[in-house]
């Protein structure tokens, strides 16, 4: 099976002032995503836009994401075949929103 590459894109590169289709603000939250086991080189490359740390036998991914970016990360985890252990949401550290 071929390996799919997803380029790393940070919240800053996406633009905090991105206009939504409805002209409203899109909330950005800090997500802490725990996955089973350790990520290999490919997994770390695919998820390089997130902070990656070890937590015992699991891996913790942390980043400031809007809803679309969260689904993008979850899709990458699905493609990698990684088991999701836990997903926690809290306010972004600097109260980010996208849109006007």
Whether residue 2 is contained in a domain is answered as no
**Which residue range is the domain that position 69 belongs to?**
25-93
pLDDT of 18 > 80? The answer is no
Residue 27's pLDDT band (boundaries 50, 70, 90)?
Answer: confident
pTM over 0.75: no
End-to-end CA distance of the chain: 42
Residue 79's pLDDT band (boundaries 50, 70, 90)?
Answer: very high
Whether residue 17 is contained in a domain is answered as no
Whether residue 10 is contained in a domain is answered as no
- Taking residues 73-86, report their average pLDDT: 96
CATH code at position 63 = 3.30.70
Whether residue 46 is contained in a domain is answered as yes
The C-alpha atoms of residue 68 and residue 85 are separated, in whole angstroms, by 20
Would you put residue 7 in left (φ > 0), alpha (ψ -120 to 50) or beta? beta
- Taking residues 15-27, report their average pLDDT: 57
The C-alpha atoms of residue 47 and residue 76 are separated, in whole angstroms, by 8
Looking at the 3D structure of the chain, how many domains does it have? 1
Cα-to-chain-centroid distance, residue 53: 13
């Amino acid at each position: 099976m071929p390996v799919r590459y997803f380029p790393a894109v940070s919240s800053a590169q996406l633009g905090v002032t991105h206009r939504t289709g409805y002209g409203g603000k899109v909330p950005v939250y800090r997500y802490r995503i725990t996955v089973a086991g350790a990520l290999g080189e490919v997994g770390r490359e695919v998820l390089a836009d997130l902070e990656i740390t070890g937590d015992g036998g699991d891996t913790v991914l942390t980043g400031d994401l809007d809803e679309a970016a969260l689904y993008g990360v979850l899709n990458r985890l699905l493609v990698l075949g990684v088991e999701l252990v836990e997903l926690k949401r809290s306010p972004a550290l600097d109260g980010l929103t996208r849109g006007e």
